[in-house]
Amino acid sequence: MSTLDIRGLHAEVAGKEILRGVDLTVSSGEVHAVMGPNGAGKSTLSAVIMGKPGYKVTAGSVTLDGRDVLALSTWERAVAGLHLVMQYPTEVPGVQVADVLSEALASRGRDTSDMGALIAREAARINFDEDLVRRAVNVDLSGGEKKRNETMQLAVLKPKIAILDELDSGLDIDALRDCARRVEDATTEDGLGALVITHYVRLLEELKPDHVHILAKGRIVKSGGPELADVLERDGYAAFAPVEA
Amino acid sequence: MTPTPVLPSAEEEIWRYSRIGELDLSSYAVGSLRTETIGVDALQGDDRSGLVMVDDADVFARLNRESTSTPVTIVIPRGQVVGDVVEIVHHVDQSGIVAYPRLVIDAGENSEVTVVEKFVSADGIASLVCPVVEVRAAQAARVTYVAINALGRDTWKIAHQQSLGMRDSTTRLFTIALGGDYARVQTTSTLAEQGANSQQVALYFADGSQMNDFRTTQVHAAPRTHSDLLFKGAVRDDARSVYTGLIHIKENAKGSEAFQTNRNLTLSEGAWAESVPNLNIETNDVKCSHASTVGPIDEDQRFYLESRGIQPSIAERLVVLGFFNEVIDRLPSAAGVSDLRDAVSRKLLGNGAK
């Protein structure tokens, strides 16, 4: 059982405060959706959890099973069990997916001898063309292939808690279903805890959340069960605008 | 004893950024290299120096021409395809010498050959090598030349490469430069008849106080000629690199295409790279492009790999190898080329200079 605990998190980008006190707890097997309009701080939240350069935490804490995540460098956070599926997966020219996974497994102290079979299995499960693992990471891939690639990596690396930043952006419906189901399967099979960041309800029809949180202007303004997404679909984000001080 | 020749200075445009000012030629005695060859004997011809370099390109080319060392002359008869890679390895065994090796490759009509010329010395060998290579590809001939600089950290290299491509020929000039102290290569491909093709490709990686200095020229002197240049390099520690490239399309070279790409990674704060592309186009109806970049490793690429749980030093190695992959993919399979990825890896890890 693992728990990612975010407490009173404040963060700024280029001197501008984006997160203004976020509280959120994600445990193994749970799916939490964080929804919010553009500019609410959704991507900042995922970037800060993973330690992306350019983001400055000014207050609050992030812990994984009690361990201070903010004190770790990015790669240590990943090895500790956090995984970020990026909204716009970065292209890394000349670097094969297989080499990335090999190094990533090695740094976790995991055996890489059966990696080929593992990759083949996971690629097949989400209809990702296995030959693409011998190609450069995300280079010349379609939006759907990129997200399948990201999801395949998640399945191979088996993190404790995954942050999925707008998994649904740039994705056709088939790829969306394949990726969402694979993440959902991981929550039941491996006890993955998922923090699903999204703008649209569409994703949540495939990846059923246990909890829905609405992020607006850098704060969670409302939390509830899956029904909250339906309210949002009906009323839009305006109903959840935070009260200005 | 001949008088010491007058050397150029960095005031001259062609030597701008160079370390020519540090060179004292009088402190070197003309010496010879220990040269091993594979596959040369069967192809060795009479001296054809000047086949391509009609006029001395500079004082070092002149000294090379005037030197008494015997050039290696490879002559490929018309129609012959040389299946095995021809290898020439020059060892600089002592300090205090300047050596002037010359290689001439004269490829007959519709012939094919790949020649690898490697320069080797140990660290601590403070000498200077000034090689000249001339490549002539007759009609439809295909010549690949690979220069490998595996010199030690105290050896200088000032080199000239010149190719001349006749009708429908293909000339490829590759340079792999991981070694040496100051390493300058001036490479010129001239496309003399229609349909001629050339490629100039380099991979360079300097660390410590090394410096790479490249001057490239793509001369289109006939219609429908095609040239492609890809130079990719990295600098680390206090190392430096400079790339200056010219595409020259002459008036009669209509329908030609010329591409020039130079990309540089600066891996340390103290490292410095400069890229200066130039175009001189005397006609219309041509397709030309040039691109040059100098900068550190892309932050997003680094973050992506680190977010997979890869520690920074390994992430950097992957990104740099990935950066060079585009060049390595173009190289012919030959000795000294196949283990290039490992050589770059070793250098990134800081053990093994070349």
Q: What is the pLDDT of residue A245?
A: 42
Contact between chains at B318 and A92 (C-beta distance less than 8 A):
yes
Distances (CA, A) of B289 to B170, B247, B250, B281: 20, 9, 16, 11
For the stretch B283-293, pLDDT in tens is: 999 999 999 99
Q: What is the mean pLDDT of chain A?
A: 93
Express each pLDDT in B61-111 by its tens digit: 999 999 988 999 999 999 999 999 999 999 999 999 999 999 999 999 999
Total length of chain A: 245
Structural domain spans, chain A: 3-90+161-240
Share in percent of chain B as helix, strand, coil (round to 5): 15, 45, 40
- Measured CA to CA in angstroms, residue B325 lies from A31, A94, A98, B273, B300 at distances of 40, 5, 15, 20, 19
> Minimal CA–CA distance to B99: which of B121, B129, B72, B62?
B129
**How many domains, in total, are found in chain B?**
1
With CA atoms as reference, report the closest residue to B113 among B122, B102, B105: B105
Q: Which two tokens stand for residue B20?
A: 């020519």
Q: How far apart are CA A56 and CA A11, in angstroms?
A: 5
Instruction: Kindly report the nearest CA distance between residue B237 and chain A, in angstroms.
Output: 23
Terminus-to-terminus CA distance in chain A, angstroms?
Answer: 39
Identify the sign of the CA torsion B317, B319, B323, B325. positive
Q: HSE (CB half, 13 Å, CA atoms) of A9?
A: 33
In degrees and rounded to multiples of 5, residue A128 shows phi and psi of -100, 130
Beta carbon pairs, A and B, within 8 Å: 81
pLDDT in tens, B26-52: 999 999 999 999 999 999 999 999 999
Return the amino acid letter for A186: A
Of all helices (H) and strands (E), which one includes residue B34? strand B34-38
Q: Which amino acid, residue B47?
A: D
Distance CA B22, CA B181 (A): 12
Bridge partners for B281 per DSSP: B249
Closest Cα to residue B278, out of B89, B16, B4, B5?
B16
- A160-175 mean pLDDT: 90
Mean pLDDT of B148-164: 97
Contact B308 A157 (CB under 8 A): yes
Determine whether B156 is exposed, middle or buried from the number of CB atoms within 10 Å of its CB (0-12, 13-18, 19+).
buried
Show the domain range for B184: 24-297
pLDDT at B335 over 80: no
Interface contact flag, B308 A104, Cβ < 8 Å: yes
- Give the other-Cβ count within 10 Å of A98's Cβ: 18
Task: Give the mean pLDDT of chain B.
Answer: 95
In a domain, B332, yes or no: no
A100, A156, A160: best to mutate for the B interface, most B CBs within 10 A: A100
For residue A244, pLDDT beyond 60: no
| Chain A positions in Cβ-Cβ contact with residue B307 (cut-off 8 Å) | 50, 52, 74-75, 78, 83-84, 86
Chain B nearest C-alpha distance from A137 (Å):
10
Phi, psi of B100 (to 5 degrees): -125, 70
B1 has a pLDDT exceeding 60: no
Choose among B303, B305, B318: nearest Cβ to A53. B303
Collect all residues of chain A within an 8 Å Cβ-Cβ radius of residue B306.
73-75, 78
pLDDT for A197-238, tens place per residue? Answer: 998 888 888 899 999 999 999 999 999 999 998 888 888 888
Identify whether the C-beta of residue B247 lies closer than 8 Å to the C-beta of residue B279.
yes
CA distance B204 to chain A (A): 17
Which of B301, B303, B318 lies at the smallest CB-CB distance from A99?
Answer: B318
% of chain B surpassing 70 pLDDT: 97
> Residue B237: inside a domain, yes or no?
yes
Between strands A16-27 and A3-13, the pairing is antiparallel
Provide the shortest C-alpha distance from residue A74 to chain B (in Å). 6
Closest CB to A78 among B308, B314, B325: B308
Angle at the Cα of A21 from the Cα atoms of A20 and A26, rounded to 5 degrees? 130
Mean pLDDT of B176-196: 98
Cα angle B38, B42, B44 (rounded to 5 degrees) comes to: 90
Q: Could you tell me if A72 lies within 8 Å of chain B, comparing CB atoms?
A: no
Cα separation, B161 vs B142, in Å, equals 16
Q: State how far residue A79 is from chain B, nearest Cα, in angstroms.
A: 5
Q: Are the CB atoms for B102 and B73 separated by under 8 Å?
A: no
Dihedral, CA of residue B185, residue B216, residue B319 and residue B330, to nearest 10: -90
Angle between helices B340-348 and B312-328 (to 10 degrees): 150
Q: Could you tell me whether strands A67-68 and A55-64 are parallel, antiparallel, or unpaired per DSSP bridges?
A: antiparallel
Q: What is the ipTM of this complex?
A: 0.95
> Which residue has better confidence, B158 or A201?
B158
Token pair for B219 = 């001369």
A3-90+161-240: which CATH topology? Rossmann fold (3.40.50)
> Angle at the Cα of B213 (from B212 to B217), degrees rounded to 5?
135
Rounded to whole angstroms, the Cα distance separating A26 from B343 reads 45
